[in-house]
Structure 1
Amino acid sequence: MRKGIYILPNLFTTGSLFAGFYSMVATLSGDYRTAAIWILAASIFDGLDGKVARATGTTSKFGVEYDSLADVVSFGVTPGFLMYAWALRPFGRLGWVAAFLFVACAALRLARFNVQVDTVESKRFIGLPTPAAASMVSATVLLFYHFGWPSSFKKLAILVLIYLLAFLMVSNFKFYSFKDPELIKRQPFGFLVLIVLLFVVVAAEPVLMLFTIFLCYILSGPVAFILTWPRRRRLEKAIHKGHESNRPLQ
Structure 2
Amino acid sequence: MINVLRRRDPEQRRLRRGMYLLPSLFTLANMFCGYACVIFAMRGEFSTAAPFIGVAVVLDLLDGRIARMTGATSDFGREFDSLADMISFGIAPAVLGYAWGLYTFGRLGWAVGFLFVSAAGIRLARFNIQTNANPDKRYFVGMPSPAAAGVPASTVFLLPQGLPTGWMAALALPLLLVPAALMVSTIRYRSFKTFNLNTRRPASALMIVALGIAAIVTYPQWSLVLVSYTYLVSGLVGLVWSRLRPRAGEDVQQVVSEPIVSEGPREV
TM range (shorter): 0.7 to 0.9
User: Structure 1 residues 97 and 239, CA, compared in 2 at 3 Å: closer, same or farther?
Assistant: farther
User: Structure 1 residues 22 and 230, CA, compared in 2 at 3 Å: closer, same or farther?
Assistant: same
Which among 224, 238, 241 is matched to residue 224 of structure 1?
238
CA distance in 1 between counterparts of 2:232 and 2:149 reads 11
Tell me the number of residue pairs that the alignment of Structure 1 and Structure 2 aligns. Answer: 237
Contact 1:89 1:95 in 2 (8 A): yes
CA distance in 2 between counterparts of 1:154 and 1:42 reads 29
| One-letter amino acid of the counterpart of residue 91, structure 1 | F
Residue 94 in structure 1 maps to residue 108 in structure 2:
yes
User: Structure 1 residues 98 and 26, CA, compared in 2 at 3 Å: closer, same or farther?
Assistant: same
Which among 23, 37, 58 is matched to residue 72 of structure 2?
58
Matched residue, 2:36 = 22
Matched residue, 1:112 = 126
Task: Spell out the pairing of 1:178-193 with structure 2 (5 A cutoff).
Answer: 178-180=192-194, 183-188=196-201, 189-193=203-207
CA distance in 1 between counterparts of 2:157 and 2:249 reads 44
Identical counterparts, % of pairs: 39
Contact 1:144 1:154 in 2 (8 A): no
User: Structure 1 residues 157 and 15, CA, compared in 2 at 3 Å: closer, same or farther?
Assistant: same
Q: Radius of gyration: which is bigger?
A: 2
Matched residue, 2:223 = 209
Q: Report the secondary structure of 2:140's partner residue.
A: strand
Contact 2:139 2:191 in 1 (8 A): yes
Shift of 1:139: 0.4
CA distance in 2 between counterparts of 1:154 and 1:38 reads 26
Matched residue, 1:161 = 175
Matched residue, 2:187 = 173
Matched residue, 1:248 = none
User: Structure 1 residues 187 and 160, CA, compared in 2 at 3 Å: closer, same or farther?
Assistant: same
Q: Report the secondary structure of 1:125's partner residue.
A: strand
Which among 129, 133, 140 is matched to residue 148 of structure 2?
133
User: Structure 1 residues 27 and 149, CA, compared in 2 at 3 Å: closer, same or farther?
Assistant: closer
CA distance in 2 between counterparts of 1:154 and 1:12 reads 38
CA distance in 2 between counterparts of 1:205 and 1:153 reads 29
Matched residue, 1:143 = 158
Cα deviation code 1:112-145 (max 9, x no counterpart): 0001000112211111111111111110001113
CA RMSD of aligned residues (A): 2.5
Shift of 1:235: 6.3
Matched residue, 1:49 = 63
User: Structure 1 residues 187 and 82, CA, compared in 2 at 3 Å: closer, same or farther?
Assistant: same
CA distance in 1 between counterparts of 2:208 and 2:66 reads 25
Matched residue, 1:244 = none
Q: Report the secondary structure of 1:184's partner residue.
A: coil
CA distance in 2 between counterparts of 1:240 and 1:110 reads 40
Shift of 1:205: 1.0
Q: Report the secondary structure of 2:160's partner residue.
A: helix
CA distance in 1 between counterparts of 2:180 and 2:248 reads 30
User: Structure 1 residues 52 and 152, CA, compared in 2 at 3 Å: closer, same or farther?
Assistant: farther
Point out where structure 2 has 5 or more consecutive residues left out of the alignment.
1-16, 255-268
Shift of 1:81: 1.0
With normalisation by structure 1, the TM-score equals 0.86
